[in-house]
């Protein structure tokens, strides 16, 4: 009997975990979902900086969430992860991975010895001289940034069985069923980064990590309005893009929110335009929006206006079975927050 697997999403402000049963089947079962907050400063830009604090929080998450499996899949996807187009002569996947250190030193910003490397193939072609090539995505992560998260999980008494790229995890869970057809962009608005993953027929073709997230807006509000982070976060959540109007006393906050948000929207639009211009045969037909930052009031509509394709919210649990103890309404409230954790668990089965 296959063991259950848990996908663990270590976010800047909290932990989210999903335990799956029958993860290798067409419709796995969500056995448990739980999330808890983390104390400020325990995580910095997606990396564990206080491993014992995070380990203690993971223990509480397992206890209060009732998780039965200690086998955990972690995700990486912060500013110290690089994903770029890469092509090599056709050979076995094992030989490609073995050859990466000899080909990529000039492509990554750190020494090869300090990086974890992987290659995700997505197409084949004939190169110069008639030699077949494999094209795909080169993934390079700073080793230290990954191992700090792994150590926190081990300190909590759990068994980290795999580490996966968060963009791949998101594609895996959100591009199932009807969403797998055509070319779709998944956009994840995190606290410090915004990740754009564009897939064709469910296969990731393009990944970009924009070094801007929802905390940038909070910090700018705090600085410009001279208020503390808690009040800045409250202002961001209550005012949003002020689609229903605003009080005169909120005018300065609205100005800041529009300035910072427009910069992010422009970066997203330019990223999608770059993909479209380099791959005109693969027009993006829709955007699936996820991540805590996507909850900003009016953001979905504003994104739709600027990218001119339908924008829909992520529904990571819609194609999965639910254990009887779970309530669909509770998971709908969790919304896209659980997407990464579900995708991580699904990846181990794949």
DSSP letter assigned to residue 90: S
* CB-CB contact of 25 with 36 (8 Å): no
Q: Which residues lie below 8 Å from residue 227, measured CB to CB, with a gap of 6+?
A: 221, 235
d(CA 156, CA 150): 10
* CB-CB contact of 90 with 124 (8 Å): yes
Q: Which residues lie below 8 Å from residue 161, measured CB to CB, with a gap of 6+?
A: 5, 71, 72, 73, 348
Q: How many CA atoms are closer than 13 Å to the CA of 327, on its beta-carbon side?
A: 3
| DSSP letter for each residue of 308-346 | -S-EEE--TTTTSEE-TTS-HHHHHHHGGGGHHHHHHHH
DSSP letter assigned to residue 68: -
d(CA 9, CA 89): 35
pTM above the 0.85 mark? Answer: yes
Tokens of 90: 């056709």
Q: Which residues lie below 8 Å from residue 183, measured CB to CB, with a gap of 6+?
A: 198, 199, 200, 201, 205, 282, 283, 284, 285
d(CA 283, CA 82): 24
Residues in the chain, pLDDT under 70:
1-2, 328-330, 332-335, 348-350
Q: pLDDT value at position 123?
A: 85
| Terminal-residue alpha carbon distance, the chain | 17
d(CA 204, CA 136): 9
* CB-CB contact of 18 with 345 (8 Å): yes
Q: pLDDT value at position 348?
A: 66
| DSSP letter for each residue of 206-227 | EEEEES--HHHHHHHHHHHHT-
Q: pLDDT value at position 1?
A: 42
Q: How many CA atoms are closer than 13 Å to the CA of 233, on its beta-carbon side?
A: 9
């Amino acid at each position: 009997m296959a063991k259950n697997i848990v996908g663990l999403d270590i976010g800047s402000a909290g932990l989210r975990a999903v335990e799956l049963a029958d993860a290798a089947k067409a419709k796995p079962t969500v056995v448990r979902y739980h999330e808890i907050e983390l104390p400020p400063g325990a995580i910095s830009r997606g990396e564990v900086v206080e491993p014992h604090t995070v380990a203690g929080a993971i223990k509480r998450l397992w206890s209060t969430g009732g998780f039965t499996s200690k086998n955990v899949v972690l995700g990486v996807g912060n500013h110290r992860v690089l994903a770029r187009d890469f092509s090599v002569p056709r050979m076995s996947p094992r030989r490609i991975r073995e050859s990466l250190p000899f080909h990529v030193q000039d492509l990554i910003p750190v020494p090869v010895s300090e990086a974890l490397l992987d290659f995700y193939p997505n197409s084949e072609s004939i190169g110069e001289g008639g030699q077949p090539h494999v094209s795909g995505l080169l993934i390079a992560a700073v080793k230290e940034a990954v191992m700090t998260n792994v150590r926190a999980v081990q300190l909590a008494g759990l068994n980290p069985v795999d580490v996966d790229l968060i963009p791949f995890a998101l594609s895996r869970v959100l591009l199932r069923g009807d969403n797998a057809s055509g070319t779709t962009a998944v956009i994840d608005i995190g606290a410090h980064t915004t990740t754009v993953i564009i897939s064709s027929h469910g296969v990731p073709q393009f990944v970009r990590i924009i070094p801007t997230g929802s905390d940038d807006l909070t910090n700018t509000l705090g600085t410009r309005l001279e208020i503390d982070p808690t009040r800045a976060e409250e202002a961001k959540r209550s005012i949003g893009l002020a689609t229903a109007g605003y009080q005169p006393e909120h005018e300065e906050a609205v100005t800041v929110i529009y300035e910072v948000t427009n910069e992010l929207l422009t970066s997203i639009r330019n990223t999608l335009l770059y993909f479209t211009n380099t791959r005109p045969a693969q027009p993006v037909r829709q955007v699936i929006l996820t991540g805590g930052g996507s909850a900003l009031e009016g953001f979905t509509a504003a994104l739709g206006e600027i990218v001119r394709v339908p924008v829909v919210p992520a529904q990571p649990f819609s194609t999965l079975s639910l254990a009887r103890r779970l309530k669909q309404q509770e998971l709908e409230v969790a919304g896209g927050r659980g997407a990464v954790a579900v995708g991580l668990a699904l990846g181990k089965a794949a």
